[in-house]
Structures are given as C-alpha cells and as structure tokens.
Copies of this chain bind each other. A is one copy, B any other.
Amino acid sequence: MPKAIKKLAVLTSGGDSPGMNAAIRSVVRTCAYHEIECIGVHQGYQGLIEGDFKPMDARSVRGIINKGGTILKSARSKEFRTVEGRKKAFQQVIDANIEALVVIGGDGSFTGALIFNQEFNFPVMGIPGTIDNDIYGTSHTLGFDTALNTVVDAIDKIRDTASSHNRLFFIEVMGRDVGHIALNVGIAGGAEEILIPEEDLGLDRLVESLNRSRNSGKSSSIVVVAEGDKIGKNIFELKDYVDENLEGYDVRVSVLGHMQRGGAPSCFDRVLASRMGVKAVESLLEGETNYMVGLLNNKMELTPLDKAIKGKSKINLELLRVSDIMST
C-alpha cells in the first residue's frame, strides 16, 4: 500500500458512545501495522487547539477494547467554531508534523472536520460514534447496538415490577431527532406503543390503544417514548394526561438517562469499531479525504462527509409495522 502520510492523529468529539475506545485502539494498531506514527488528541477539538497530544503505540491501547467512554476524552470547543481557533489548531498539527486527522463522533464533529479540511486542505476522515444511529451513510453507528442492549435490559427489569403490580410504564429513551433506539427497544421490550419523533400518534389514539389492550386482558403495559417524540408533551405531562383519561392502570414514568451512553461495548460494536478504524486509516493512506466510513450491506463503505452530515438516517418502516403486529 502506498502511504500518502507518515503521521496521523485521532480524536473523539461530541457525546461519547460505547465502542469509541475500540475505534481508537483500531486506529492506533492500524497505524502500527502500517508503520506510521499515531498521535492521540485529548479533549476533542479543544485539545487540537491546545496541542494536547500524546504519541500512541500498539501497547498503549491494550485493555481498552471492552471499556465504555473514551480514553481520549471528549469536550465541546467554542473556540474551534471560530476561524482563529481553527488557525491555532492547524498550526499545532503542522508543528507536530501531523498529516491527517481521524475524527470519531457525530454530525457536529464531522462538520468541524469538514470546515477544517476546507480551510486548510487538511486530510480528514470520520468514524460515526454516537448511540443515536442518526447518521446517514451507515446502517449502524458505533454504540447503537450496545445502547439497545442496555435499554432492553432496563426495560426487562421494569417489566418485572410492572407486571407484578398491574402498572403502565412510560419509559423515556434517548433519541432527540430520530426514533431508532425507541423503535428497536420497543419491539424487543414488548412495548404496547412506541412514540417517536418521526410520527405523531396523537394523545387520543394513544389512550384508545392502551384502553383496547387493557380490555384484551393485558394487566400491565410498557410505552417507550423517544426524547424527541412529537406528541407535544413531556413525559411527565404525558403520564398525567393518561392517568386522567385511562382507568385500570397505576401509571408510572422512568427516564433512563445517561446510563444509556456507557457500558462495555457489545461484540457487534467492538467488531464494527475495529473494522471502521482499519478502513479510516487505510483510506487516508490511500489519499482519500473528507469521507466517513460506514457499514452498508455488511461492508465497509465511504460516504462523503457532506452527505453524511446533510443526509437523513431514516427509520425502517417495516419495523413500525412489526411493532403494530406484535402488540396485537
């Protein structure tokens, strides 16, 4: 393989997700395999500006494949949103002889990478790391699969207590703009209804549906609600509305919160991270830039960063239908 570069850097940015460490490890080991240098940038873009760099060799990433979070840490950087900030960052990478940058993060992080490339013609490559699966150009983002298992495990626990007490639970899961998590865990958790940002079921139909299921003999129920659902209420208002308009259930709320972001990555996420790291580094070595690596039809593929940012990750309508049938 021809090597367009001799030294690259890797950073994590935005919300962390399980698998980021496995991706860092893969980037570092792929560099070692191709005998090029690898620099870890701490604290995301802010670390790029401040030159918070650390050389990483194959041994330095030992024992992290199964750790949640990111050893490089992540931080928001207001400064990187300014031209001055990015100029400082560029000077830092030049001073350190860094020739390319792998950015592990979500679409905000990719936007930063793209601007950095446009301003300084600096090679960049993105790896989609976020539990929300809201990025175009990959069927799975890093951490999505792990988060699904974390949430389903929590729903299983809540169901134990729900069915012991004839309760109706509203469970809020992550997903401000897309319903991927809600849709999958709703099916897997045996939810009666799933409320997602892409659809507005309407309060009346929700109550009607819960009423119907109550009458069909279900003594407890779970409704999974994505943070960004469109029903026009927050989850506590939703509970109050249903409490007033539905008989026969004791209604409760559970907001799963930040535990969804952590934990040892699943096998799927570890393998995906390993593949993405290899693809990202080797694409840069081959002279590519401004792409995101992704999983499409079980293969590693490149998608232009601007498409990844602007494109929309659509929910699978088949799953909506499966959910309806399952709550028969």
User: 15 pairs across A/B with beta carbons < 8 Å?
Assistant: A65-B188, A65-B190, A73-B166, A149-B266, A149-B267, A156-B262, A185-B267, A187-B271, A255-B257, A266-B266, A268-B268, A275-B322, A278-B321, A297-B297, A300-B318
A166 adjacent to B75 (CB under 8 Å):
yes
Looking at chain A's contact residues, the main secondary structure is helix
Q: Which A residues form the contact surface with B (CB < 8 A)?
A: 12, 15-16, 18, 20, 25-26, 29-30, 32-33, 58-59, 62-63, 65-70, 73-75, 139, 145, 148-152, 154, 156-166, 169, 184-185, 187-190, 216-218, 252-264, 266-268, 270-271, 274-275, 278, 297-300, 316, 318-319, 321-322, 324-326, 328
A184 adjacent to B262 (CB under 8 Å):
no
Q: Assuming A68-B160, A165-B75, is B268 touching A148 (CB within 8 A)?
A: yes
Q: 4 smallest A-B Cβ distances: which pairs?
A: A157-B262, A68-B160, A160-B262, A69-B160
For A26, give its contact among B145, B161, B326 (CB under 8 Å): B326
In the bound assembly, the distance between CA atoms of A189 and B266 in angstroms comes to 10
A299 → chain B, closest Cβ, in Å?
A: 8
A69 adjacent to B258 (CB under 8 Å):
no
B187 adjacent to A270 (CB under 8 Å):
yes
Residues of B within 8 A of A161 (CB): 15-16, 68-69, 258, 261-262
For A160, give its contact among B30, B62, B263 (CB under 8 Å): B263
B297 adjacent to A164 (CB under 8 Å):
no
A267 adjacent to B148 (CB under 8 Å):
yes
